[in-house]
Amino acid sequence: MLGWAAVLASAMAVSAASPWSTLPLQRKDTSRNDAPTALPDSDVFHDMFMALSDMQDAYFQRWLGTWPEGIDWTRAVVNTHVAATLRTISDELELARPAQPAECATRKEELVAGYFADVIAYYFGEDAFALRNQAYDDMLWVVLGWLESIRFVDEHGRLLSSVASARPGAETWYGSRWMPAFAHRARIFWELAAKGWDTTLCGGGMLWNPRLMPYKNAVTNQLFISASISMYLHFPGDANPSPFNASSPPARAAAEWRAHDPIFGRAAQEAHRWLAASNMTNPQGLYADGFHVSGHPAGSNNTKCDTRDEMVYTYNQGVILSGLLGLFQATGREAYLGEGHALIQNVVRATGYDLGRNTPIDDISPTRLPPWHGLGRAGILEEACDVRGTCSQDAQTFKGIWMHHFASFCAADALDATPVRYADDTEMPEAVLARVRERHAEGCRRYLPWLRRNARAAMGTRDGKGLYGMWWTAGLFEIARAQVEEEEMMKPLPPLPVEGEEGEEEEDEVVDYRNEGVPYNQRWMKLADLPKGTPPTTEAAGQGHQQQQQQQQKPLGGGGGEAKRQDKRGKEDDKDAAGAWDPNVRGRGRTVETQGGGLAVVRALWVLSRHEL
């Protein structure tokens, strides 16, 4: 990838003594204050590109067109990261274009095209047939991935045709020919997922998984909001009738799937209304995982979402953010943006960070792990499983998802490309939009020091091959084995206690099913799927929630602190380059999912840092 560095150096001035290029060796966090420091942007850009290129080199198998160690849904997310990064690189080509020589632009274009070939390969490598039979959230990750690819193709195609139009006889960019394929897959999976919308229970909401007891969770509903509004804004239409034919006509003819179809916008607004009224946020203003319907269907007539799983995951605070931006673009209602900023601020606070003072809340001691704040510590985003090294393949994907949707919401150009329309379809006047844009940018700029801290931490987890680890906090602090082995740290981390509500919440519980497996009990499993004679309260470790996903790793036994190294890479020495113990080799170790997380946080920093230009 020297090629990129050289190309970049010729187009932009790269400072040689950059703090970013030497980061992996600077492991001690000495300065507590995150006052803005001048950042050589091209270095962040370079790090983003390296995260992409290392990810594809280490984990993508071109002959298979996939990341073999991923599972269907995590691959869909990784594909989303690749497409989003290509769009970001394309934007940069546009910014740099007037200033650079033609051969330099051509070389950059080749780098983009090379990774776009991976996206095309994955279109065929994706196991669409298996995904059709998985949970509703699995399907919606697929929708988001292809919509992201559509946005890249659209924007990059327009950039290239604006260059080419200067030349006579120029063709449209070849990537545009893939638009109908991507659009078709996005539409098919949106249509399949929309079957998960259910009004018989809880007055609405998406069900998580048709094969389990009814569970209406944050992620499936947030995904439905984001995917639907993104379909409304970016789907170009689809006239491909597959998999239907004349003798088995679809409920809705494919020719009816138009761009800006109101069906998508209505779905997003209705899902948002339901989620906002569902009481799914906890006293910290964070989304709990979801709701069961107590007693259903064993003899009770209850149809209310009344039993909340209090588990807090990072991704449940993220997916809705791109949806809120889209809802604003589709309605002109600024309250959607306000809701997004409030959620982001709750997340930042729950990492133990004071945005007002731009510094972590706690005094950081080098010998003790900083205290847990609900979603992190020391101002760094963290999954509850991180400290124990027991994150499942699912959880290894979560922080990257949060960063991706945060970046969509707060990118410096988030409100540039798509016009903002009011509900009556008139366009928001530019002068009004300009003021909203300024307020939004002001909000987003405030998160930059916190984001820099998180990116710096994530980059500190890179090993000698440039591969990112799962537990970002370990990249900013030198953590000794004894610190995490302390008994109290090995216990599952509960959400912060709720004051004065004891007794009322007997039904609620904290089940970390994403890491420990779905419990074998009547709350989660359908009776027919439980072994005969299972006592109602028995909780055995689940076998992973989707039988279809045979490749899915069995969840690691939680709580015991004896995470087995199941990943091949985990066998290597557990010391890092500087000879310190590396907590990121525990458990599953470094994977395509953790690499996707590293890519997403560095890309987020790049697209937000443009607010400072």
Ligand X SMILES: *[C@@H]1O[C@H](CO)[C@@H](O)[C@H](O)[C@H]1NC(C)=O
| 299 near ligand X, judged by CB under 6 A | yes
Measure the CA–CA gap between 285 and 449, rounded to whole angstroms: 22
Stretch that binds ligand X, among 16-24, 469-477, 504-512, 565-573 (CB under 6 A): 504-512
CB 312 within 8 A of CB 381: no
Question: Smaller CB distance to ligand X: residue 488 or 504?
Answer: 504
Query: Encoding tokens for residue 362?
Result: 């706690």
Q: Which of 87, 187, 234, 308 binds ligand X (CB under 6 A)?
A: 308
Measure the CA–CA gap between 139 and 215, rounded to whole angstroms: 16
As separate numbers, helices (DSSP H) first and strands (DSSP E) second, the chain gives 18, 7
| 289 near ligand X, judged by CB under 6 A | no
Measure the CA–CA gap between 317 and 349, rounded to whole angstroms: 13
| 533 near ligand X, judged by CB under 6 A | no
Least separation in angstroms between residue 272's CB and ligand X is 18
Residue 520's SS3 state is coil
Number of residues that bind ligand X (CB under 6 A): 12
Least separation in angstroms between residue 357's CB and ligand X is 31
Stretch that binds ligand X, among 9-17, 293-301, 404-412, 529-537 (CB under 6 A): 293-301
Stretch that binds ligand X, among 139-147, 178-186, 340-348, 501-509 (CB under 6 A): 501-509
Query: Encoding tokens for residue 228?
Result: 């639907």
Burial level of 499, CB count in 10 A (0-12/13-18/19+)? exposed
| 367 near ligand X, judged by CB under 6 A | no
Beta bridge partners of 257: 238
Stretch that binds ligand X, among 105-113, 207-215, 294-302, 487-495 (CB under 6 A): 294-302
Ramachandran angles phi, psi of 213, nearest 5°: -60, 150
Measure the CA–CA gap between 41 and 21, rounded to whole angstroms: 12
Stretch that binds ligand X, among 79-87, 298-306, 527-535, 576-584 (CB under 6 A): 298-306
Question: Smaller CB distance to ligand X: residue 247 or 365?
Answer: 247
Binding mask 322-351 for ligand X (x = CB under 6 A): ------------------------------
CB 298 within 8 A of CB 397: no
Query: Encoding tokens for residue 519?
Result: 């419990």
Question: Smaller CB distance to ligand X: residue 57 or 505?
Answer: 505
Least separation in angstroms between residue 308's CB and ligand X is 4
Question: Smaller CB distance to ligand X: residue 110 or 501?
Answer: 501
| 272 near ligand X, judged by CB under 6 A | no
Give residue 455's identity as a one-letter amino acid code: A
Write out the binding residues for ligand X, residues 505-524 only, by CB under 6 A.
505, 508
Burial level of 511, CB count in 10 A (0-12/13-18/19+)? buried
Stretch that binds ligand X, among 149-157, 258-266, 476-484, 502-510 (CB under 6 A): 502-510
Q: Which of 22, 33, 37, 245 binds ligand X (CB under 6 A)?
A: 245
Give residue 362's identity as a one-letter amino acid code: D
Question: Smaller CB distance to ligand X: residue 302 or 483?
Answer: 302
Question: Smaller CB distance to ligand X: residue 20 or 313?
Answer: 313
Question: Smaller CB distance to ligand X: residue 41 or 508?
Answer: 508
Least separation in angstroms between residue 507's CB and ligand X is 8
| 247 near ligand X, judged by CB under 6 A | yes
Stretch that binds ligand X, among 79-87, 442-450, 500-508, 554-562 (CB under 6 A): 500-508
Stretch that binds ligand X, among 343-351, 489-497, 503-511, 535-543 (CB under 6 A): 503-511
Q: Quick one: which of 493, 478, 463 has its CA closest to 590?
A: 463
Query: Encoding tokens for residue 218?
Result: 């944050």
Measure the CA–CA gap between 6 and 347, rounded to whole angstroms: 38
Q: Which of 162, 172, 199, 279 binds ligand X (CB under 6 A)?
A: 279
Least separation in angstroms between residue 256's CB and ligand X is 19
| 504 near ligand X, judged by CB under 6 A | yes
CB 168 within 8 A of CB 107: no
Question: Smaller CB distance to ligand X: residue 299 or 533?
Answer: 299
Measure the CA–CA gap between 487 and 496, rounded to whole angstroms: 19
Q: Which of 248, 426, 537, 550 binds ligand X (CB under 6 A)?
A: 248
Least separation in angstroms between residue 379's CB and ligand X is 28
User: Could you please report the per-residue DSSP string of 136-194?
Assistant: HHHHHHHHHHHHHHHHHHHHHHHHHHHHHTTSTTPPPPGGGGGHHHHHHHHHHHHHHHH
Measure the CA–CA gap between 478 and 367, rounded to whole angstroms: 9
Least separation in angstroms between residue 295's CB and ligand X is 8
Measure the CA–CA gap between 325 and 484, rounded to whole angstroms: 39
Stretch that binds ligand X, among 124-132, 203-211, 241-249, 406-414 (CB under 6 A): 241-249
Question: Smaller CB distance to ligand X: residue 279 or 538?
Answer: 279
CB 321 within 8 A of CB 411: no
Question: Smaller CB distance to ligand X: residue 299 or 531?
Answer: 299
CB 215 within 8 A of CB 305: no
Instruction: Kindly give the interhelix angle for 398-410 and 592-609, rounded to the nearest 10 degrees.
Output: 20
Q: Which of 22, 30, 200, 301 binds ligand X (CB under 6 A)?
A: 301
Question: Smaller CB distance to ligand X: residue 301 or 537?
Answer: 301
Measure the CA–CA gap between 386 and 388, rounded to whole angstroms: 5
Question: Smaller CB distance to ligand X: residue 301 or 426?
Answer: 301
Q: Quick one: which of 380, 374, 601, 363 has its CA closest to 476?
A: 380
Measure the CA–CA gap between 255 and 239, rounded to whole angstroms: 5
Least separation in angstroms between residue 305's CB and ligand X is 9
Which residue ranges make up the site for ligand X (CB under 6 A)?
Answer: 245, 247-248, 279, 299-301, 308, 501, 504-505, 508
